Amino acid sequence: MSRDLDSCTSYTYEDTKQIAEHIQEKTVYRPTLGIICGSGLGGLVDQVEEPFILSYTEIPGFPVSTVPGHEGKLVFGMLSGKQVVLMKGRSHSYEGYVPQKITLPVRVMHMMGITTLFVTNASGGINPTYKVGDVMIIKDHVNLAGFAGHNPLVGVNDDRFGPRFPPMSNAYDLELRKLAKSKAKELGFSDFVQEGVYSMMVGPNFETVTEARMLGIMGVDATGMSTVPEVLVARHCGMRVFGMSLITNVVVKEYDSEAKANHEEVLETGAMRSKDLQKIIGAIVGEITL
């Protein structure tokens, strides 16, 4: 490596290529599907056959998560008959990382040949019809952090990655969403699988009552603290994106409520519903053409 990439906050095309090559030198796998596992959803890794595991600490420049439920491992292997690479854990803005650092793994996956990206997360239900344990297929997002300039695409654009002004009206692939709904129905999961709009708040605090009410007025169905930066970069690189949120808590929207959101509830719900989520993702992976 020509630079100390661990201390960098922005990465050139050449930096990213070097990191990708560093990883590929260690594994024979050459997947075209990448999956980012969110809070409490790392159990999907257990379904991967013939795994090759690489800790983030072994990868120059990779951000290392400090959050419980995010172990920090890159896992290559076979899932439903397809070569895949999974991120078991991700980093977040509230940990102090800049957006360009958070999304470096997505750019690296692009350089390794990933053309389809699945993103999963734990989120709070804004939609009053959502229940804890529901799974939401993401059809769109609201980039609230982007309203304040918190966007991984800010800065000098390198056309080798993607265009200066990438469209986001089709951020979440329609065909993959249709396939997910079909597979959920086949599995008998239709009663807890929803489709809706996700929003990202930077965190680490959970939302105030007024903030939660505002999100509802804006048309948001579920909110979390991740995913959007990764999706922006994936689409900038031309990847197909599919996203799912596990509803791990109901966001408090009443001023006199005694209920309080907490991270332990997030992890508990993730453990409760993880096997069903794994079945859905496994069924989708087995069906798609890569």
71 catalytic residue (yes or no): no
110 catalytic residue (yes or no): no
Active-site residue (options: 11, 20, 56, 70): 70
56 catalytic residue (yes or no): no
254 catalytic residue (yes or no): no
Active-site residue (options: 11, 20, 39, 207): 39
239 catalytic residue (yes or no): no
Q: In angstroms, rounded to a whole number, what is the distance separating the alpha carbons of residues 32 and 289? A: 10
Active-site residue (options: 263, 265, 268, 272): 263
Active-site residue (options: 121, 226, 245, 274): 226
Q: In angstroms, rounded to a whole number, what is the distance separating the alpha carbons of residues 49 and 4? A: 34
Q: In angstroms, rounded to a whole number, what is the distance separating the alpha carbons of residues 138 and 199? A: 10
Nearest Cα neighbor of 199 from 263, 261, 127 is 127
Active-site residue (options: 93, 95, 143, 234): 95
Q: Is-cis flag, bond preceding 204, omega within 30?
A: yes
39 catalytic residue (yes or no): yes
Task: Name residue 175's amino acid.
Answer: E
Strand, coil or helix: 56: helix
CA dihedral 226, 229, 234, 237 (to 10 degrees): -170
Residues 6 or more apart from 132 whose CB is under 8 A from it?
125, 247, 248, 249, 250, 265, 269
Active-site residue (options: 225, 234, 239, 244): 225
Active-site residue (options: 127, 143, 249, 274): 249
80 catalytic residue (yes or no): no
274 catalytic residue (yes or no): no
**Exposure on the CB side of residue 175, measured as CA atoms within 13 A:** 6
CA dihedral 227, 119, 154, 110 (to 10 degrees): 160
Active-site residue (options: 11, 56, 91, 92): 92
Active-site residue (options: 87, 109, 111, 122): 122
Active-site positions read 39, 70, 92, 94-95, 122, 225-226, 249, 263
